[in-house]
């Protein structure tokens, strides 16, 4: 009799261990409810197939990947705007912006590396938050003195990047050590 119960016990145990979409959906909703652009947050996290079974760290990696790809697109946009620019000071400004986006990409990469650890220490979490914050705020300096003829494409693109980085910041605020 005991031998015949073992397969049922294993079946029940394994079926309970399968990842469930519902907790991830709840986690995504919790994260996105804290983001200023909650609709973008929901859109990007729910549209990524990796999110279906991701925990907080997994969602962090996903959001970092998305923000890094977006920053690379912004770098390409800046390069094309620089080619079109005829004003040397504007070209210099685009160079500066490209450098800031490059730094943001590096900061996001560093934050992602931290999430590869199995156990996060308080120092890891602090470093993650610092890197995410630097990625979020760095490109702000592109817009300190905006000339009146500044292409609106760049400002709109920056707004999206900032919203994507904010998702990373929200996840960073939710990380716990141990």
- For residue 9, pLDDT over 60 is answered with no
In the block, which residue shows the tokens 């973008």?
40
Q: Which two tokens stand for residue 82?
A: 């620089």
Sign of the Cα pseudo-torsion (25, 26, 27, 32, in order): positive
Q: Which two tokens stand for residue 124?
A: 């890891």
The pLDDT tens digits of the residues spanning 75-121 come to 998 899 889 888 888 888 889 889 999 999 999 999 999 999 989 99
Give the whole-angstrom CA distance, residue 90 versus residue 82: 8
The pLDDT tens digits of the residues spanning 13-44 come to 333 333 334 457 899 999 999 999 999 999 99
Element (H, E) at 118: none
């Amino acid at each position: 009799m005991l031998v015949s119960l073992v397969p049922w016990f294993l079946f029940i145990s394994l079926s309970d261990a399968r990842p469930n979409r519902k907790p991830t959906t709840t986690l995504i909703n919790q994260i996105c409810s804290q983001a200023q652009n909650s609709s973008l947050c929901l859109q990007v996290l729910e549209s990524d197939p990796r999110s279906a079974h991701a925990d907080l760290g997994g969602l962090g990696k996903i959001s970092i990947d998305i923000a890094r790809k977006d920053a690379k697109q912004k770098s390409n946009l800046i390069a094309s705007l620089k080619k079109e620019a005829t004003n040397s000071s504007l070209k210099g400004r685009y160079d500066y912006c490209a450098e800031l986006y490059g730094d943001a990409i590096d900061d996001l990469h560093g934050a992602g590396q931290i999430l590869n650890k199995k156990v996060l220490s308080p120092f890891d979490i602090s470093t993650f938050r610092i890197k995410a914050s630097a990625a979020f705020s760095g490109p702000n300096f592109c817009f300190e003195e905006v000339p009146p003829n500044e292409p609106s494409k760049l400002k709109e693109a920056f707004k999206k990047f900032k919203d994507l980085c904010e998702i990373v910041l929200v996840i960073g605020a939710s990380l716990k050590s141990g």
